[in-house]
Amino acid sequence: MHKLLQSQLQTHLGDLKKVPAEWGAFLQSITEAYQQADDDRMRLRQEIADTKRGQEVSRESEQRLLKQQAALVEIARGKIINESELTNMFPDLAESAGRALEVERTSIWLYDEGHTKIRCSDLYELTPNRHSSGLELPAAAFPAYFRGIEIERVIAAHDVSKNPYTKEFVEIYCKPLGISSMLDAPIRVGGRTVGVVCHEHIGPPRRWTTEDQTFVGSISDFVSLAVEISERRRAEAALQSTISDLAHSNAELEQFAYVASHDLQEPLRMMASYAQLLSRRYGGKLDKEADEFIHFMVSGSQRMQSLILDLLDYSRVTRLVKPPVPVRVKTVIEETVGNMKKSLEDSGGQVKNNVDANAVVIGNSMQLARVVQNLLGNAIKFAKPGQPPRIEVSAHRDGNYWVFAVRDEGIGMDPKFYDRVFMIFQRLHTQDEYPGTGIGLAICKKIVEQHSGRIWVESEPAKGSTFFFNIPANEEGQQAP
Dist. CA 183–CA 197, nearest whole Å: 9
Find the angle CA(177)-CA(183)-CA(188) to the nearest 5 degrees. 120
- State the pLDDT at residue 299: 74
- State the pLDDT at residue 239: 87
Which DSSP state fits 20?
-
Find the angle CA(234)-CA(237)-CA(243) to the nearest 5 degrees. 140
- The number of residues in the chain equals 481
Dist. CA 155–CA 163, nearest whole Å: 9
The alpha-carbon radius of gyration of the chain (Å, integer) is 44
pTM metric for this prediction: 0.47
Dist. CA 195–CA 187, nearest whole Å: 5
CB 426 within 8 A of CB 397: no
CB atoms < 10 A from the CB of 154, how many?
A: 19
CATH class of domain segment(s) 325-472 = alpha beta
CB 155 within 8 A of CB 167: no
Per-residue model confidence as pLDDT tens for the chain (481 residues) = 445 445 554 554 455 445 455 545 545 655 565 566 566 567 666 666 555 555 554 565 566 656 656 666 666 665 555 555 666 788 888 998 898 889 999 999 999 989 999 999 999 999 999 999 999 999 999 999 999 999 999 999 999 999 999 999 999 999 999 999 999 999 999 889 999 999 999 999 999 988 889 888 888 888 888 788 778 888 888 888 888 877 776 666 666 666 665 666 667 677 777 777 877 787 777 777 877 877 777 777 777 766 666 666 766 676 656 788 899 999 999 999 999 999 899 999 999 999 998 999 999 998 999 999 999 999 999 999 989 999 999 999 999 999 999 999 999 998 998 988 888 777 776 666 777 677 889 889 999 998 999 999 999 998 999 999 999 998 765 555 5
- Residue 320 CB-density burial (10 A; 0-12 exposed, 13-18 middle, 19+ buried): exposed
Torsions phi, psi for 156 (to 5 deg): -100, 95
Which DSSP state fits 383?
P
Taking the alpha carbons at both ends of the chain, their separation in whole angstroms is 111
Dist. CA 335–CA 461, nearest whole Å: 31
Domain boundaries, the chain: 2-63, 75-231, 252-316, 325-472
Contacting residues for 428 by C-beta, under 8 A, at least 6 apart: 413, 417, 420, 421
- State the pLDDT at residue 175: 94
CB 227 within 8 A of CB 234: no
Dist. CA 255–CA 134, nearest whole Å: 50
The sign of the torsion formed by the CA atoms of 62, 68, 72, 77 equals positive
DSSP per-residue codes, 117-178: EEEEEEEEETTTTEEE---EEEGGG-HHHHHHHHH-S-EEESSTTT-TTTGGGIIIIIHHHT
CB 124 within 8 A of CB 107: yes
Domain 75-231 has CATH 3.30.450.40: yes
Of 148, 153, 187, 184, which is closest to residue 164 (Cα–Cα)? 148
Dist. CA 108–CA 85, nearest whole Å: 15
| 92 sits in which H/E element | helix 86-101
- State the pLDDT at residue 191: 87
Dist. CA 108–CA 458, nearest whole Å: 54
CB atoms < 10 A from the CB of 389, how many?
A: 21
401-407 vs 390-398, strand pairing mode = antiparallel
CA dist list (Å): 179 to 6, 134, 174, 241: 55, 19, 5, 47
Torsions phi, psi for 85 (to 5 deg): -125, 150
Strand partners, 397: 402
Dist. CA 116–CA 136, nearest whole Å: 10
DSSP per-residue codes, 312-369: HHHHHTTTSPPPPEEEEHHHHHHHHHHHTHHHHHHHT-EEEE---TT-EEEE-HHHHH
pLDDT in tens, 9-38: 455 445 544 545 554 554 565 556 556 656
DSSP per-residue codes, 197-265: EEEEEESS--PPPHHHHHHHHHHHHHHHHHHHHHHHHHHHHHHHHHHHHHHHHHHHHHHHHHHHHHHHH
pLDDT in tens, 141-189: 999 999 999 999 999 999 999 999 999 999 999 999 999 999 999 999 9
